Amino acid sequence: MKRLLPYFALSILTTFGKAAEIKTPGDRMFARYFESETKRLAKADLADIKTLDDWNAKKDTYRRQLREMLGLDPLPKRTPLQTKTTGVVQHDEFEVRKLHYQSSPGLYVTGNLYVPKKLTRPAPAILYVCGHGQVRIDDVNYGNKAHYQHHGAWFARNGYVCLMIDTIQLGELAGIHHGTYRHRMWWWNSRGYTPAGVEAWNGIRALDYLESLDFVDNSRIGVTGRSGGGAYSWWIATLDERIKVAAPVAGITDLQNHVIDGVVDGHCDCMFQVNTYRWDFGQLAALVAPRPLLILNTDRDAIFPLDGVTRLHTKIARIYDLHDKPQNLGLAITPGGHSDSQELRLPAFNWFNKHLKNGSRPITKVATKKFSPQQLKVFKNNPVDERTTTIHDSFPQIVSDEEAVDPMLLDVIRQKSFAAWPSGNTELNIRKAWNVVHDGVRLAAYDFDSQPHVRLRMYIANKADLTTPKAVHIEIPDKFGWNRYLKLGLPALAEQWSKELKLAGVDKNAPISKKLQAKLARQMKFIREHPEVYVTFMPRGTGLSQLTQNERHLTQARRRFMLLGQTLAGQQALDVRQCIRATRQLDLCKGIPLELWGYNSTASLVAVVTLFEDNIHTIHLHNYPQTDKEQPDYLNISRFATPRHLLELAKRRTHVKILKERGGL
């Protein structure tokens, strides 16, 4: 059975800006935080560019940073393309060459080259990068080049050579664009991997192929595509100045739309760079200047809203004005939603005629499909050495355990993985939430600001008459430990913990079993007999600030962090650091030796925190992760350090105890 699945078949289900999904205090906190961070990045977008000299001084750095954020710095080796044509399809006005090339060894790209007949001199060329339009018949992939073939045909019928290339996700060799979106591959963030980088590299190598053709005029090459192809048009045009004219269709909007308004929920991972340098999209888009650029969109596109597109256009226009080239920037808006309409394509066709053929002419031919998907298929049998379907496992390069620890590692990961952390100490605004004495034990809760709009709570337990502790223990429980902690404290703190108990689904009025009472008694006895302070802390997204427990909702929250140049785990590590600061400001804990306890994923948080906090006496780690697929996702971390490297560095700074069984209070 034939199925054509447009990209927007993926519906937008959850956003943090919509009241329907704001169900917990954590949801409200995250919504305020995301809005604040987004506005801060939007305000900084291109703010340093006042003159053309400013732009010229920075543009090469911006381009290098973009390559890095796409996993392309350094660029992969330009190995032989090994292009092969597997067949030719004839039309009265043009022919279609079915071909494949290897942008890197084993990274096959399938494509169709549309060549006008009766060419008498080198022609202008268009690289058409396809969007998310799947063509799959009886479990056979024909590539999205078959879905978008009418565009290639139009260009060929109007005197252009047009190369249409398949994407990873929906090509003949079907790979993955949905690592974080659908498959919980959060280690993509750790490795700094985005399929946008592979798609950009495939496009750059497509230009290498076009340049090798004697019937192509290398001085007249343009790029276009819609939706996902619109995004790839941006990547290719910004990174490679061999593109002389660009016309991306419905392929970009700003962070306000993505993060606050929630359209990120409708986009897969290929639409975004790993935002290490914390850009809004104006900084990316401006890198096309001053070359001719036409931005095309519809007025009711739900995943590329018009307000965000026009905000971007305004920012880009300022850079074109600095170049004194305002005529080289255009904005074309047509009625409709997220669809591939003839009305939307006509301005693009005119734009290329104007800038690649030195003049506009009436568009008299409609873009129509001429071939069956079977006619355009490149492979009869898939190559056995292909890496396309698993390219996310090896792109970009990451370090291995065998490599030595870089002496500058801490500086590198502070810049590349934790750039969103504040540069200095911030005001914590510590306030006591409650304080009770039960069975000779003082139990208290303190709230503090980890960041603006991120207010968190830590829980303190110690002997009621304790004046000079021998040690302070900060425990970061995992979900299992937190639930155990809540239940053990239920008899003593049912009223004080009402919010926490409600979020955890624990009935504060439920009868207390004798077994639970006995555990509580042992716990209280332990605290009374040990002159130490015990702090329990749950970072953002857990405990009192946990989010609505809907898997899609949690996924889209974590994806928003990456768009802001962060990860949830990276900011949780900041929360632990701020908890340490808050603890040390309590009179009872000042100058007292400090020990940290972590379990499973929080064991990694504790190890990372130890790298950036001085005077940690001991850390206790239970079930420390061995690989970056087990480790929480810290942005780009695997490019520079493995979990073993991080643990080795922690051991250089403090005493590390590896727990065989769970410890703590």
For the chain, the straight-line distance linking the first and the last C-alpha, in angstroms and rounded, comes to 60
Strands of the sheet with 532-537, listed across from one edge: 431-438, 441-451, 454-463, 532-537, 471-476, 594-599, 616-622, 655-659
Q: Are residues 451 and 371 in the same domain?
A: no
Amino acid symbol at 230: G
In a domain, 237, yes or no: yes
Q: Are residues 208 and 314 in the same domain?
A: yes
pLDDT band for position 10 (cuts 50, 70, 90): very low
Q: Are residues 363 and 509 in the same domain?
A: no
Count of all residues that appear for the chain in the document: 665
Tell me: the pLDDT tens digits for 367-409? 788 999 999 999 999 999 999 999 999 998 899 999 999 889 9
In a domain, 321, yes or no: yes
pLDDT recorded at residue 7: 31
Mean pLDDT value of segment 40-66:
98
Helix (H) or strand (E) run with residue 147 in it: helix 144-147
Q: Give the domain extent around 471.
A: 420-659
Residues β-bridged to residue 247: 224
Q: How many domains does the chain have?
A: 2
In a domain, 199, yes or no: yes
Q: Are residues 276 and 388 in the same domain?
A: yes
Q: Which residue, among 309, 252, 269, has the nearest Cα to 558 in the 3D structure? A: 269
Lowest mean pLDDT among 225-229, 326-330, 523-527, 620-624: 523-527
Tell me: the pLDDT tens digits for 414-434? 999 999 999 888 999 999 999
In a domain, 3, yes or no: no
Comparison of pLDDT for 492 and 531, the residue scoring more: 531
Enumerate residues 6+ apart whose C-beta is below 8 A from 214: 122
In a domain, 194, yes or no: yes
Tell me: the pLDDT tens digits for 260-295? 999 999 999 999 999 999 999 999 999 999 999 999
Q: Are residues 381 and 487 in the same domain?
A: no
Tell me: the pLDDT tens digits for 452-489? 999 999 999 999 999 999 999 999 999 988 988 888 88
Tell me: the pLDDT tens digits for 74-119? 999 999 999 999 999 999 999 999 999 999 999 999 999 999 998 9
Comparison of pLDDT for 367 and 231, the residue scoring more: 231
Rounded Cα distance between 271 and 131, Å, is: 11
Q: Are residues 111 and 193 in the same domain?
A: yes
What DSSP assignment string belongs to 631-648? S---TTGGGT--HHHHHH
Residues 246/165, Cβ–Cβ less than 8 Å: no
Residues 217/125, Cβ–Cβ less than 8 Å: yes
Residues β-bridged to residue 617: none
pLDDT at 644 over 70: yes
In a domain, 412, yes or no: no
Q: Are residues 386 and 435 in the same domain?
A: no
pLDDT band for position 665 (cuts 50, 70, 90): low
Enumerate residues 6+ apart whose C-beta is below 8 A from 424: none
Helix ranges (H only) for 425-510 are 479-493, 498-504
Beta carbons within 10 angstroms of residue 521's beta carbon = 12
Mean pLDDT value of segment 354-366:
82
Among 373, 392, 411, the domain-final residue is 392
Using CB atoms within 10 Å of the CB of residue 479, give its burial: 0 to 12 exposed, 13 to 18 middle, 19+ buried: middle
pLDDT recorded at residue 664: 57
Among 346, 373, 392, the domain-final residue is 392
Residues 142/374, Cβ–Cβ less than 8 Å: yes
Q: Which residue, among 388, 8, 376, has the nearest Cα to 168 in the 3D structure? A: 388
Q: Which residue, among 83, 135, 132, 127, has the nearest Cα to 109 in the 3D structure? A: 83
Helix, strand or coil for residue 230?
Answer: helix
CATH number of the domain residue 600 falls in: 3.40.50.1820
Q: Are residues 324 and 453 in the same domain?
A: no
In a domain, 168, yes or no: yes
What percent of the chain clears pLDDT 90, i.e. is strictly above it?
A: 83
Strand pairing category for 94-104 and 107-116: antiparallel
Q: Are residues 135 and 211 in the same domain?
A: yes
Tell me: the pLDDT tens digits for 295-329? 999 999 999 999 999 999 999 999 999 999 999 99
Tell me: the pLDDT tens digits for 517-560? 888 888 899 999 999 999 999 999 999 999 998 999 999 999 99
Among 349, 372, 392, the domain-final residue is 392
In a domain, 287, yes or no: yes
Q: Are residues 524 and 377 in the same domain?
A: no
**Interior/surface letters 171-185, b for 16+ CB within 10 angstroms, e for the rest:** bbbbbbbebbbeeeb
CA angle 631, 632, 635 (to 5 degrees): 110
Sign of the torsion formed by the C-alpha atoms of 35, 567, 412 and 451: positive
Enumerate residues 6+ apart whose C-beta is below 8 A from 248: 223, 224, 225, 226, 229, 230, 231, 233, 234, 237, 295, 296
Q: Are residues 212 and 119 in the same domain?
A: yes
pLDDT recorded at residue 615: 95
Q: Are residues 355 and 442 in the same domain?
A: no
pLDDT band for position 505 (cuts 50, 70, 90): confident
What DSSP assignment string belongs to 420-442? TS-SS------EEEEEEEETTEE
pLDDT at 12 over 80: no
pLDDT recorded at residue 549: 87
Mean pLDDT value of segment 598-626:
97
Rounded Cα distance between 134 and 147, Å, is: 7
Rounded Cα distance between 85 and 87, Å, is: 6
Written as six digits, the tokens of 81 are: 């393309």
